[in-house]
Structure 1
Amino acid sequence: MSRFSVQKHYPAMQPLLALSMQVHDGGRLEPELQQLVLMRVSQINGCAFCLDMHSKDARAAGETEQRLYVLPAWRETTLYSEREQVALAWAEELTELDSHDAVPDALYERAKKVFDEDALVDLTLLVVAINGWNRINIAARTIGGHYRVPKAKAA
């Protein structure tokens, strides 16, 4: 059972929502890449609501079932581009902050080869935003499984 309604408290969450929308609409990160990052971070954090939402949004945007199924093992397959692999590694490092030097210089050097500075900042903000949404929905115990893709996304 949910502890509180995230939707009811949306006015307090407007800054996080605005950040999410700015990165989503910024045009520096492909929608498919965004969905992969949102899914991977939500997998790491165990957010059922966000996994439900982003798996449905990803499929509506044309993502394949196979790529979604093997996403937790993305390093073990050739299904993801170099840019997607770097984005997933970046997202994992920022999500699993286990030391003060969590993002190794070697990863940053790889990221600079496939993302310009603006896109890398957007990728970082995307990871920050989904980690925030995951934590809010986990704290609220938002129930997963009932999300419906908005008609505009399903087109």
Structure 2
Amino acid sequence: MSTSDPISRVALKKTTPDVSAAMGALHGAAVSAARDAKVEPEILELVRIRASQINGCAFCLDMHTKDARSQGESEQRIYALNAWRETPFFNGRERAALALTEAVTLVHDGHVPDDVYAEAAEVFDEEQIAALIWAATVINAYNRIAVATRMVPGGYQPAAK
């Protein structure tokens, strides 16, 4: 079958509403934990975008780049996020969060190395590290849902402020 002739995919929210609701509740709890731990909202969007880049999730990239821009994130930083190590655009906290996000996302490749965790522990307290791990875990789960079900990007609009 060619990619121009896609097969219909399951609508998870409709087919398994209880599980979908539980996923939404997990997302809400992770957002609350990050807010309570005082993790900057800008860092959370960078985490979501970076994991979505790694996972090739067009739907989540569309959503979270729009959310980041609506929160004041610069186009330059969004465009350079895939090469964040080679740019001067990200501060130490952002770099530590991005490294941790990459390690969690690519857990099969190094199992979150001690040096990555230690770098995060230098700039984040335990509650913040926990919140970042949850944020990375939740976006990775959403990436897998969106990719597996071929959610179509383009229609998402951030909530009005």
Say whether the fold is shared (TM-score over 0.5).
Answer: yes
What is the match of residue 22 of structure 1?
29
Q: Percent identity?
A: 44
TM-score scaled by structure 2? 0.87
How many residues were matched structurally? 151
Structure with higher Rg: it is 2
**1:56 pairs with 58, 63, 66, which one?**
66
Q: Does 1:73 align with 2:83?
A: yes
What is the match of residue 5 of structure 1?
11
Coordinate RMSD, CA, aligned: 1.5
Alpha-carbon distance between aligned partners in 2 of 1:63 and 1:5, rounded to the nearest angstrom: 32
User: Which ranges of structure 2 fall in alignment gaps of 5 or more residues?
Assistant: 1-5
Tell me which amino acid in the other structure corresponds to 1:43.
Answer: Q
TM-score scaled by structure 1? 0.91
Deviation at 1:5, TM superposition (A): 2.7
Deviation at 1:91, TM superposition (A): 0.5
User: What are the superposed Cα offsets for residues 27-75 of structure 1, whole Å, 9 maximum, x if unpaired?
Assistant: 1211100000000000000111100000101101111111000000000
Deviation at 1:14, TM superposition (A): 2.1
SS in 2 for 1:70: helix
User: Which ranges of structure 1 fall in alignment gaps of 5 or more residues?
Assistant: none
Q: Does 1:38 align with 2:26?
A: no
Alpha-carbon distance between aligned partners in 1 of 2:154 and 2:107, rounded to the nearest angstrom: 28
Alpha-carbon distance between aligned partners in 2 of 1:37 and 1:10, rounded to the nearest angstrom: 27
Deviation at 1:10, TM superposition (A): 4.3
Tell me which amino acid in the other structure corresponds to 1:138.
Answer: V
2:63/2:157 contact within 8 Å kept: yes
What is the match of residue 115 of structure 2?
106
